[in-house]
């Protein structure tokens, strides 16, 4: 959901925070307190950071079911549904920093909103509803790929995994952002794809996938090539894998 007047809403969840009262809701403001008081994380770019538990306690409950909306002042959290659990006047969730944040410090606030409708045209008056965050991201190992000299952004998950198709006979080059060693394996399906002209350096892996002379239709999967770079400075918490599905031209 995008609430343009308030920023970027990461996600929302419907939560029954029912209190006593009549058909309306009191006009006075609900006070919010957070635990922890600041959301902090320190992780390496490109690796999955741990989920951060967070809870909010309300001075009183709204009189009707509400939508819980978390608004980012910048795109710092992993996208997904906001799963919320309730315990009396408190509710809790887990928030995960985005794994591809740029190296450096990321500080700001997350704003909690409670709304009586999905579009948040009827928000619950709140105070103290901003949760500061402070994320520190170290430079990590990232890999980009070209096929026959053309950039290939990859498919699938952005963190710890780069996956794309390559046709038999094409040249692949992988470039790492920091010095790394390269472990190369091939997995068999219809046949065992192999490569020619394999060259490596501290920051690059390059090879040409062997040509295919069979009669399988174009696009048929021939096998898988897997390259796993490891930083020379030490192993990653989560290995980075580059998976290339070789298909018939």
Structural domains counted in the chain: 2
CA distances from 82 to 23, 32, 232 (A): 28, 18, 38
The answer to whether residues 109 and 7 belong to one domain is: yes
The answer to whether residues 92 and 24 belong to one domain is: yes
The answer to whether residues 128 and 213 belong to one domain is: no
Tokens found for residue 67: 């939508």
Q: What is the CATH number of the domain that holds 106?
A: 2.60.40
State how beta strands 130-138 and 204-209 pair: unpaired
Tokens found for residue 233: 């400075």
The answer to whether residues 195 and 213 belong to one domain is: yes
Tokens found for residue 26: 């009191």
Residue ending a domain, among 83, 115, 138, is 138
pLDDT 10s digit of each residue in the chain, 249 long? 222 223 333 344 555 454 444 444 455 799 999 999 999 999 988 878 899 999 999 999 888 888 888 999 999 998 877 788 888 889 899 999 998 888 999 999 999 999 988 888 999 999 999 999 999 998 888 888 999 999 986 655 557 788 899 999 999 999 998 899 999 887 554 456 788 899 999 999 999 998 888 888 999 998 889 999 988 887 676 778 898 999 998
State the residue range of the domain holding 25: 2-138
The answer to whether residues 14 and 88 belong to one domain is: yes
Question: What is the 3 state secondary structure string of 137-180?
Answer: EECCCCEEEEECCEEECCECCCCCEEEEEEECCCEEEEEECCCE
Cα separation, 51 vs 42, whole angstroms: 12
The answer to whether residues 206 and 149 belong to one domain is: yes
Cα separation, 4 vs 200, whole angstroms: 48
CB 213 within 8 A of CB 176: no
């Amino acid at each position: 959901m995008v609430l343009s007047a308030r920023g970027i809403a990461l996600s929302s969840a419907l939560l029954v925070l029912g209190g006593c009262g009549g058909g309306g809701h009191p006009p006075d403001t609900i006070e919010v307190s957070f635990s922890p008081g600041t959301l902090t994380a320190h992780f390496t770019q490109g690796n999955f950071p741990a989920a951060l538990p967070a809870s909010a306690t309300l001075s009183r409950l709204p009189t009707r079911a509400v939508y819980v909306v978390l608004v980012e002042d910048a795109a710092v959290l992993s996208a997904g549904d906001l799963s919320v659990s309730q315990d009396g006047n408190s509710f809790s969730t887990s928030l995960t920093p985005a794994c591809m944040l740029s190296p450096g410090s990321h500080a700001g606030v997350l704003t909690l909103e409670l709304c009586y409708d999905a579009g948040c045209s009827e928000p619950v008056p709140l105070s103290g509803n901003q949760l500061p965050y402070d994320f520190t991201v170290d430079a990590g190992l990232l890999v980009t790929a070209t096929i026959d000299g053309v950039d290939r952004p990859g498919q699938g998950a952005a963190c710890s995994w780069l996956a794309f198709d390559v046709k038999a006979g094409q040249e692949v080059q992988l470039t790492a952002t920091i010095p790394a060693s390269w472990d190369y394996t091939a997995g068999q399906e219809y046949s065992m794809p192999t490569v020619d002209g394999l060259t490596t350096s501290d920051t690059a892996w390059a090879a040409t996938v062997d040509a295919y002379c069979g009669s399988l239709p174009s696009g048929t999967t021939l096998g898988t090539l897997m390259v796993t770079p490891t930083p020379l400075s030490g192993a990653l918490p989560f290995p980075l894998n580059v998976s290339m599905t070789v298909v018939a031209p």
